């Protein structure tokens, strides 16, 4: 009977499993359908997001490339004009006007709206602005964006480098909030100008938003269409599933009276029909076997109750015995794993007995053997770095006094190998009822790696990677802190702004690696020189250094430091087989006297440095208020000088050079004059150095060469076939790569032979040049064609006699300073005779400059000087007057 009941129970379980399997199959089928719908929805969302993101990214990249393409098209369109200017066909003003005309027409429209190409000078003067022509001609150099960044300065810096992108925030027309704008500029160094175009990033975002809305609307419509079709196709299946699920629910709720489903509703042989037929068959079998299975279940339940009753007492006793042992083992295992897993040293310090119990990795961290005992007074405390003991003792005292809830201190400790490591010590004290600390539990952690990384990060953020000096970031933070104290009357000092003189020659000649090596040596010398608490030496970039002197008020002390720096850094260095004369110029600004803001103090020190550079270099200058006015005046004069050629303000005057023996004119010296409409006649002593400094000497010098050769042509047309014109040449012209071809082109354009031209080279400039050999080679090439070479201002330098035989010269021109006191019988009288005799022995012709009196002329005739030049003959005069001039 028991076996039969067991068999019945087994059959019943099988039927129940069949019901459960069928229910599970139906649930999974419906879940798969719902999952497919969910995957479709997610797919649509991801696809829409991916495509719209790619559209935005590609649109942004395309727009950046389009800015570059439009700017390069504009640059290529004006290249023929630049070529004509380079070849001398056009003047700079003519070229500039033609370029402006071309650029002004370059407006365009795209999907983001109308746009244009603009043009501006390197000084910030707006040349072309098609949409706001009222801005043309205005000075935009001080224009800043919404966050105070100098827009025009960033554009000019990028243009001077050649080309590139500049990003800033600006108020677009018709919008209340500033928007990010990207501009692409290309420099035109020949015209000291640049062109560019830009766009607002928000325009791309708006186009992207419109595309995203349209795309999402299409996706939504497509999704709704799919859902409608799917619902129509699957509705019959879903209805059969719902019917089966209702039947299963009935079966579970009332297994005694299961529900039989009608099969005539579905097509015979269909999946739904087979499912319902199987369900009805299963229900029938369940009804037949239900009674037997119920009886078997009751018998099994009675047997189980009898067996379990006898085991309950045994299980209760066994549980009580094993639970205590398991808890003990778990506790011990957890403690062991915790000690093995942590990298800390754990201590338990008995403060009354001053004894410590250690656990964890204490021997590894402190560098002691496992058997060694370290107490809290005479053991590991003696291993703390002397400078850090106070930190640890103060933190411990504060905690034991109840001032801090936890004890925490970072300090260095000497390990057994003799090295210091950084330790983070933490702990918490236990107090007795009287409030006395009796015990302390805590840990040690080795934080050396963390400290090392912090130092590396600090070094990268605040130190110059090449020299190891403080960088601009550290210097500015330190300077702001000093100025804050100065505003409160608690500090004063000075800033020395240093710039190496002619450092570019080192990089151009020997390469940047040699230049970097020189910068490192200079940095080391500065650190040795600037000794004192609180002083700081920093490198701001390139060859610019700055020294911050703190707690110093006396001007003589600051000057003494500047003098020591000048003296220590000045000298000759030998790099890559070349000798370079090293020197430095220094601008000094004191605080709070010259400024209480970092930017103001830097600007004033830079102004003083600029004045020091103009004073001849290798000097220092203190900032003065008048310097700003001088610089503004100089910038204004430089701007006027750049426009002088286009306005025909530059003229050539000519002064005759007369033979002492015959009284005939041998040649004429061309002298540049500038008549400015606002300033009147400007002294050559003011604008010639400005031409040198600004680089205008090269284009203006080419104009002088062509004009002088044209004057020589007019002399030949009047029958003066042996006359020549002397032109002064700057070293910046001479080192220019196309100097020789420029001279030859001027001669060919005027149609005069090379013998009609004389080039005058100043000896002091020539001797100081780092390109002496190259310059001599150029002069030899021109002399070989017949061009005369004269050494001007002879005697004012220190190397004339040494190099006199090396230079390819024909004529020596004695400086006016030797002529001035001839009649007074000064020392120059003896020197003059020696110079003339020496020149004649070398086969050179001698010309004396600045002759103004009859006595001077008589003495020069007595010394057998060949030619004279000066007011005694004629003052310099325009070409028309000089063509009519005759000397008897």
User: Where is pLDDT greater, at 245 or 405?
Assistant: 405
User: Where is pLDDT greater, at 691 or 118?
Assistant: 118
User: Where is pLDDT greater, at 551 or 545?
Assistant: 545
pLDDT score at 821: 72
Mean pLDDT of 11-25: 53
Report the topology of domain 345-454: Beta-Lactamase (3.30.450)
Mean pLDDT of 537-544: 90
What pairing do the DSSP bridges indicate for beta strands 867-869 and 845-849? parallel
Mean pLDDT of 636-649: 81
pLDDT score at 691: 84
- Compute the mean pLDDT over every residue in the chain, rounded to the nearest whole number: 80
- Beta-carbon contacts of residue 535 (< 8 Å; ≥ 6 apart): 547, 548, 549, 550
User: Where is pLDDT greater, at 31 or 831?
Assistant: 831
Question: Which residues is 622 bridged to in the sheet?
Answer: 588
Percent of the chain whose pLDDT exceeds 70: 73
The total of other beta-carbon atoms located within 10 Å of residue 416's CB is 12
Give the integer Cα–Cα distance in Å for 484 and 478. 10
Percent of the chain whose pLDDT exceeds 90: 26
State phi, psi for 553 to the nearest 5 degrees: -120, -30
Whole-model pTM: value is 0.44
The total of other beta-carbon atoms located within 10 Å of residue 325's CB is 9
Mean pLDDT of 566-575: 87
* Listed residue (445, 446, 444, 438) closest to 349, CA to CA: 438
CATH 3.30.70.270 boundaries in the chain: 463-623
pLDDT score at 3: 43
Q: What is the rounded (10 degree) CA torsion for 37, 40, 41, 44?
A: -170
Give the integer Cα–Cα distance in Å for 842 and 865. 14
| pLDDT greater than 70 at residue 819 | yes
Radius of gyration in angstroms for the set of CA atoms belonging to the chain, rounded to a whole number: 48
pLDDT tens-digit profile of 143-173? 888 888 899 989 999 899 889 999 988 877 6
CATH 3.20.20.450 boundaries in the chain: 638-883
Give the integer Cα–Cα distance in Å for 31 and 38. 10
| pLDDT greater than 80 at residue 380 | no
pLDDT tens-digit profile of 44-53? 666 656 655 6
| pLDDT greater than 80 at residue 823 | no
Token digits of residue 198 = 């830009």
Report the range of poorest mean pLDDT among 253-257, 509-513, 565-569: 253-257
The total of other beta-carbon atoms located within 10 Å of residue 140's CB is 16
Mean pLDDT of 684-704: 86
| pLDDT greater than 70 at residue 827 | no
Long-range contacts of 685-694 (CB under 8 A, 24+ apart): 686/637, 687/637, 687/641, 689/614, 690/634, 690/637, 690/638, 690/641, 691/641, 691/730, 692/730, 692/732, 693/614, 694/638, 694/641, 694/642
Q: CATH 3.30.300.30: does it fit domain 638-883?
A: no
Q: What is the DSSP letter of 162?
A: S
Give the integer Cα–Cα distance in Å for 588 and 623. 6
pLDDT tens-digit profile of 587-630? 999 999 888 899 889 999 998 998 888 887 889 999 888 787 77
CATH 3.30.450.20 boundaries in the chain: 59-207, 345-454
| pLDDT greater than 80 at residue 529 | yes
Mean pLDDT of 124-153: 88
| pLDDT greater than 90 at residue 312 | no
Which class would CATH give 463-623? alpha beta
pLDDT score at 832: 84
Confidence of residue 798 (pLDDT cuts 50, 70, 90): very low
pLDDT score at 6: 47
Mean pLDDT of 111-139: 88
CA 128 to chain centre: 29
Give the integer Cα–Cα distance in Å for 757 and 716. 12
Confidence of residue 497 (pLDDT cuts 50, 70, 90): very high
pLDDT score at 270: 58
| pLDDT greater than 90 at residue 653 | yes
| pLDDT greater than 50 at residue 4 | no
Question: For 226-319, where are the E strands, in sequence order?
Answer: none
pLDDT score at 578: 78
Give the integer Cα–Cα distance in Å for 609 and 589. 10
Give the integer Cα–Cα distance in Å for 7 and 656. 141
pLDDT score at 179: 82
pLDDT score at 334: 53
User: Where is pLDDT greater, at 295 or 22?
Assistant: 295
pLDDT score at 344: 75
CATH architecture of the region 59-207: 2-Layer Sandwich (3.30)
Instruction: State which of 687-691, 790-794, 874-878 shows the largest mean pLDDT.
Output: 874-878
Give the integer Cα–Cα distance in Å for 758 and 391. 80
| pLDDT greater than 70 at residue 316 | no
């Amino acid at each position: 009977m028991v076996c039969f009941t067991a068999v019945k129970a087994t059959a019943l379980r099988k039927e129940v499993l069949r019901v459960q399997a069928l229910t599970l199959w139906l649930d999974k089928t419906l879940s798969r359908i719902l999952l497919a719908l969910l995957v479709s929805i997610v797919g649509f969302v991801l696809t829409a997001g991916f495509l719209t993101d790619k559209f935005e990214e590609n649109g942004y990249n395309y727009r950046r490339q389009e800015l570059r393409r439009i700017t390069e098209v504009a640059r290529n369109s004006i290249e023929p004009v630049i070529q004509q200017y380079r070849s001398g066909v056009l003047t700079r003003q003519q070229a500039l006007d033609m370029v402006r005309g071309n650029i002004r027409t370059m407006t365009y429209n795209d999907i983001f709206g109308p746009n244009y190409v603009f043009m501006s000078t390197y000084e910030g003067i707006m040349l072309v602005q098609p949409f706001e022509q009222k801005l043309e001609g205005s000075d935009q150099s001080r224009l800043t964006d919404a966050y105070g960044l100098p827009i025009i300065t960033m554009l000019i810096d990028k243009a001077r480098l050649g080309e590139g992108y500049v990003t800033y925030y600006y108020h677009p027309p018709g919008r209340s909030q500033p928007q990010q704008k990207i501009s692409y500029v290309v420099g035109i160094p020949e015209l000291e100008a640049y062109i560019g175009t830009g766009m607002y990033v928000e325009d791309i975002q708006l186009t992207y938003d419109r595309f995203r809305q349209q795309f999402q609307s299409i996706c939504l419509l497509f999704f709704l269409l799919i859902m409608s079709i799917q619902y129509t196709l699957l509705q019959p299946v879903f209805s059969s599933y719902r019917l089966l699920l209702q039947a299963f629910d009935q079966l579970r709720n009332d297994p005694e009276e299961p529900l039989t489903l009608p099969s005539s509703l579905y097509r015979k042989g269909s999946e739904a029909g087979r499912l319902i037929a199987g369900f009805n068959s299963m229900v029938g079998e369940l009804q037949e076997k239900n009674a037997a299975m119920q009886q078997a279940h009751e018998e099994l339940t009675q047997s189980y109750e009898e067996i379990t009753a006898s085991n309950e007492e045994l299980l209760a006793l066994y549980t009580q015995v094993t639970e205590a042992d398991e808890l003990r083992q778990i506790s011990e295992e957890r403690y062991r794993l915790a000690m093995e897993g942590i990298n800390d040293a754990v201590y338990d310090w008995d403060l009354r007995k001053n004894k410590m119990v250690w656990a964890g990795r204490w021997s590894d961290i402190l560098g002691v053997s496992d058997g060694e005992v370290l107490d809290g007074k005479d053991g590991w405390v003696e291993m703390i770095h002397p400078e850090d003991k106070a930190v640890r003792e103060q933190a411990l005292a504060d905690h034991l006094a109840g001032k801090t809830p936890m004890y925490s201190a970072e300090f260095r400790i000497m390990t057994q190998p003799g090295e210091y490591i950084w330790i983070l010590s933490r702990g918490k004290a236990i107090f007795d009822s009287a409030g006395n600390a009796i015990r302390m539990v805590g840990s040690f952690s080795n934080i050396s790696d963390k400290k090392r990384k912090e130092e590396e990060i600090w070094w990268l953020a605040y130190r110059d990677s090449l020299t190891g000096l403080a960088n601009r970031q550290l210097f500015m933070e330190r300077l702001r802190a000093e100025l804050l104290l100065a505003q409160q009357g608690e500090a004063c000092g000075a800033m020395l702004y240093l710039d190496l003189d002619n450092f570019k020659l080192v990089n151009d000649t020997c390469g940047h690696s040699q230049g970097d090596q020189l910068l490192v040596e200079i940095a080391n010398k500065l650190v040795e020189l600037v000794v004192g608490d609180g002083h700081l030496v920093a490198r701001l970039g390139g060859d610019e250094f700055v020294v911050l002197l703190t707690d110093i008020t006396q001007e003589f002390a600051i000057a003494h430091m500047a003098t020591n720096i000048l003296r220590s850094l000045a000298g000759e260095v030998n790099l890559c087989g070349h000798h370079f004369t090293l020197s430095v110029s220094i601008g000094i600004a004191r605080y709070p006297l010259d400024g209480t803001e970092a930017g103001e103090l830097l600007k004033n020190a830079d102004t003083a440095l600029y004045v020091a550079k103009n004073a001849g270099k290798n000097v220092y200058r203190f900032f003065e208020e008048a310097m700003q006015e001088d610089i503004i005046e100089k910038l204004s004069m430089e701007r006027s000088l750049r426009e002088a050629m286009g306005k025909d303000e530059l003229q050539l005057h000519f002064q005759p050079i007369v033979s002492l023996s015959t009284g005939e004119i041998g040649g004429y010296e061309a002298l540049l004059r500038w008549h400015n409409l606002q300033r009147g006649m400007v002294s050559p002593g003011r604008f010639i150095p400005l031409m040198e400094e600004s680089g205008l000497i090269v284009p203006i010098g080419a104009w002088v060469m062509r004009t002088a050769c044209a004057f020589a042509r007019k002399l030949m047309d009047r029958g003066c076939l042996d006359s020549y014109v002397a032109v002064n040449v700057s070293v910046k012209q001479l080192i220019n790569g196309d100097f020789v071809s420029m001279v030859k082109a001027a001669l060919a354009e005027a149609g005069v032979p090379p013998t009609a031209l004389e080039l005058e080279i100043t000896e002091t400039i020539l001797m100081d040049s780092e390109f002496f050999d190259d310059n001599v080679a150029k002069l030899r090439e021109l002399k070989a064609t017949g061009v005369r070479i004269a050494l001007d201002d002879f005697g004012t330098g220190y190397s004339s006699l040494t190099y006199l035989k090396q230079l390819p010269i024909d004529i020596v021109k004695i400086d006016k300073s030797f002529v001035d006191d001839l009649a007074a019988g000064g020392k120059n009288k003896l020197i003059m005779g020696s110079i003339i005799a020496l020149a004649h022995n070398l086969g050179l012709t001698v010309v004396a400059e600045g002759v103004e009196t009859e006595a001077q002329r008589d003495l020069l005739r007595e010394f057998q000087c060949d030619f004279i030049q000066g007011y005694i003959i004629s003052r310099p005069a325009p070409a028309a007057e000089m063509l009519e001039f005759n000397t008897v």
